[in-house]
Amino acid sequence: MNSRLKIFLSNMLSIMFIVSSIGCLAQADEQQSSIDDSDVEADDKVETLFGANVPNTSFDLYSSSILEAQNEISFVCVINSPYELRRFELKCDEAKYLDVKLADCCIEGDIWQAKAKVWDAKPNSAITVTPSKANQQSVAARVYNDGGTKLNPKQLTALIECSYKSGINQFPAAALFTAKSDGYCTMKDLGVKINM
C-alpha cells in the first residue's frame, strides 16, 4: 500500500474521531497527529477512535477484509477519483435481508451512492444516497433473499457498489459503510472499477 493512502487514512480517522466526539471540524488540524501509524495496528486504531460507537465489527482498515462473520459490519470505501466505483461482496448465511447505509466521512458537501444487488431466484437491487452533510448516515438500501441459489438457498450474496456522485471533488475521498442483516455476513473487497 502506498504511503500517501496510509497517511490519508490516518488523517481521515483522526477527522472522524473529532467529528464524532467533539462535533467540530475546526479542531481537526490540532488533533490529527493524535494517532501514530507506527505504534497502533488498524483494529486498535478503530477501537481507540470510536470506542463503544463502533458496531461489533472486526476489519482490517486498509483492505476492508472482514475477519469473522457477524450480522453488522462496518467498512470504509476509499476512491481516488470521481470515475472510480469500489465494489464489495457480502455473503450472509441464513439471511432474509441485507440493509446497507453509508455516510460521507470527511468533507461536508460530498454526496455518495451505494447500490446493493442480489442475483438469486428473484434478483433485486436497492440504491441509497447520502445527504450532503458529513457523517450523516443515509437511509438504508434493503435487498432480500428470495431463494438464494440452487447450491445455497439460504445464503444471500450481494454486490455492493460505492460511488462518488458529486460534491467538493477532493481526492482521495472516503465514505463509511454499515451493512446489517438478520444472518451472519462476511465481506470481501473486490477492488476498484473505472466507471465512465
pLDDT tens digits, residue range 125-168? 999 999 878 788 899 999 999 988 888 888 999 999 999 999 99
Same domain for 47 and 136, yes or no, is no
104, with CB counted inside 10 A (0-12, 13-18, 19+), is buried
Q: What is the pLDDT of residues 99-113, one digit of tens each?
A: 999 999 888 889 999
Q: Are residues 43 and 100 in the same domain?
A: no
pLDDT at position 7 over 70 = no
Question: pTM for the full model?
Answer: 0.65
- Is the per-residue pLDDT at 67 higher than 80? no
47 shares its domain with 81? no
What is the distance between the alpha carbons of residues 140 and 146, in angstroms, rounded to a whole number? Answer: 19
pLDDT of 193 above 80: yes
- Residue 74 and residue 28 in one domain: no
Measured in whole angstroms, the distance separating CA 25 from the mean position of its chain's CA atoms is: 21
Range of the domain at 46: 1-54
- pLDDT of res. 19: 36
| Cβ contacts of 75 within 8 Å, gap of 6 or more | 59, 64, 66, 88, 176, 177, 179, 187, 189
| Cβ-contact 80, 172 below 8 angstroms | yes
More confident residue, 30 or 178: 178
What's the pLDDT at 50? 34
Q: Could you give the number of structural domains in the chain?
A: 2
Residue 25 has pLDDT above 50, yes or no: no
In this prediction, residue 68 has a pLDDT band, given cuts at 50, 70 and 90, of: low
| Predicted local distance difference test score (pLDDT) of residue 119 | 86
CB 109 within 8 A of CB 132: yes
pLDDT attached to residue 17? 37
Mean pLDDT of the chain: 74
State whether 150 and 168 are in the same domain: yes
Residues contacting residue 52 through CB under 8 Å, at least 6 positions apart: none
31 or 152, higher pLDDT: 152
Domain edge (last residue) among 21, 37, 54: 54
**Residues 96 and 179 occupy one common structural domain:** yes
Mean pLDDT, residues 25-52 taken together? 35
Q: What confidence score (pLDDT) does residue 28 get?
A: 30
**Same-domain status, 23 and 99:** no
Domain boundary among 13, 30, 54: 54
pLDDT of residue 133: 80
